[in-house]
Amino acid sequence: MNMKNILLSGAAVALTFAFAQTAAAQDCPRGDLDARFCDVDGDLIADTPTDASELVDPDTLIFAYTPVEDPAVYKAAWSDFLAHLEAETGKSVVFFPVQNNAAQIEAMRSGRLHIAGFNTGSNPLAVNCAGFNPFTIMASKDGNFGYEMEIITYPGSGIEKVEDIKGKQLAFTSPTSNSGFKAPSAILKGDFDMLPERDFEPVYSGKHDNSILGVANKDYMAASIANSVKARMLSRDVITEDQVKTIYKSQTFPTTGFGTAHNLTPELKDKIKNAFFNFEWEGTSLQAEFEKSNEGQFLPMTYKEFWEVIRKIDTANGVSYSCE
């Protein structure tokens, strides 16, 4: 073969390779999803792998609930549901007490977490970086769902309205929390022209109960929190009504999204979904805890629809779903 033919042959191989890459990209659209995932059906969540070798069917399922308060509180609250989940799946189920949102996302990304409730703000990161497949949220018995972000202070703080926070300290929870950081950041900037560092001192408490207790005990002058957590803490007499007051209340946001890792077998995913939707709340430890925030059923939902407002808040805040 002469040099001209060799060059032509090499060009043909390169062109074929380029076409193959393009075809592969077209076969695996992914939007904001990490390169490990595909979204052929366009629902914005990672598809179940089509290669059987990539599916997992573990003997023991690991469950984690978003770390809004002390994990010990929720290990007890979820005990009856997890027993029901064991009966429905025929597998052992272990409660994994995560300490922060980043650890929960990493646990699913690395394959160590199979079923989870991720908080509102971290759902997009869990979906795009960890392959989380959310399908349900808690709702009241009449179908209402969600919570509001509140900015709270304590009586006598000198803060009567949002603008009074200027020059003072405002406690957030963590950067991945919707009500604890993302929503208030967007609202303070867009509606009040207030920026952290420039107009107030931001601090981070780590969790909603830390922020609420911090305000109640006058450790923080103000804090942005999820009012569903506040309601449960009031019901448990952890704080009293006269210890905190609300100076701002947002629109309603979707609450914790529950779902599975994307690569569980379809059969196992179906059993887990059924366990959520056929769970009888009456008289259970789950009802005892979550009726404090007026929740009493699992409502079917889609990430694409229910989390649209949260993705818009992320866009307003310049948030990227980078998985690095």
The pLDDT of residue 9 is: 47
**Secondary structure letter of residue 49 according to DSSP:** P
pLDDT (tens digit, 9 = 90+) per residue, 12-65?
Answer: 444 333 333 433 456 899 999 999 999 999 999 999 999 999 999 999 999 999
The pLDDT of residue 25 is: 53
Q: Which residues contact 196 (CB under 8 A, 6 or more apart)?
A: 170, 185, 202
The sign one gets for the Cα dihedral 100, 104, 105, 109 is positive
The pTM is what?
0.80
Q: Report the distance separating Cα 41 and Cα 39, nearest Å.
A: 6
Q: Do the beta carbons of residue 134 and residue 127 sit within 8 Å?
A: yes
pLDDT (tens digit, 9 = 90+) per residue, 223-277?
Answer: 999 999 999 999 999 999 999 999 999 999 999 999 999 999 999 999 999 999 9
Q: Which residues contact 226 (CB under 8 A, 6 or more apart)?
A: 68, 120, 147, 148, 149, 150, 177, 178, 179, 180, 208, 255
Q: Report the distance separating Cα 110 and Cα 212, nearest Å.
A: 32
Find residue 138's DSSP bridge partners: 298
> Would you call 142 helix, strand, or coil by DSSP?
coil
Homologous superfamily of 147-253: Periplasmic binding protein-like II (3.40.190.10)
- Number of H helices and E strands in the chain, helices first, is 12, 11
Find residue 133's DSSP bridge partners: 260
Closest Cα partner for 132 from 34, 54, 51, 201? 34
The pLDDT of residue 18 is: 38
The pLDDT of residue 3 is: 41
Domain 52-144+254-316 has CATH 3.40.190.10: yes
The pLDDT of residue 279 is: 98
Side-by-side strand order, sheet with 297-300: 92-95, 60-65, 115-118, 257-261, 132-139, 297-300
pLDDT (tens digit, 9 = 90+) per residue, 146-199?
Answer: 999 999 999 999 999 999 999 999 999 999 899 999 999 999 999 999 999 999
The pLDDT of residue 304 is: 96
Q: Do the beta carbons of residue 50 and residue 258 sit within 8 Å?
A: no
User: Which secondary structure element, helix H or strand E, spans residue 135, and what is its range?
Assistant: strand 132-139
Residue 159 vs residues 130, 149, 247: alpha-carbon distances, Å: 40, 17, 8
pLDDT (tens digit, 9 = 90+) per residue, 67-89?
Answer: 877 778 889 999 999 999 999 99
Average pLDDT (194-218) is 96
Residue 211 tokens, joined: 């922020």
Q: Report the distance separating Cα 168 and Cα 148, nearest Å.
A: 23
Q: Can you say how many angstroms the Cα of residue 271 is from the centroid of all Cα atoms in its chain?
A: 22
**Secondary structure letter of residue 279 according to DSSP:** -
The pLDDT of residue 12 is: 43
More confident residue, 292 or 323: 292
User: Which secondary structure element, helix H or strand E, spans residue 116, and what is its range?
Assistant: strand 115-118
Every domain of the chain with CATH number 3.40.190.10 lies at 52-144+254-316, 147-253
pLDDT (tens digit, 9 = 90+) per residue, 87-145?
Answer: 999 999 999 999 888 999 999 999 999 999 999 999 999 999 999 999 999 999 999 99
The pLDDT of residue 321 is: 85
Q: Do the beta carbons of residue 313 and residue 183 sit within 8 Å?
A: yes
- The count of C-alpha atoms lying within 13 angstroms of the C-alpha of 241, restricted to the half-sphere facing its C-beta, is 1
The pLDDT of residue 323 is: 81
Q: Which residues contact 311 (CB under 8 A, 6 or more apart)?
A: 124
Q: Report the distance separating Cα 94 and Cα 107, nearest Å.
A: 14
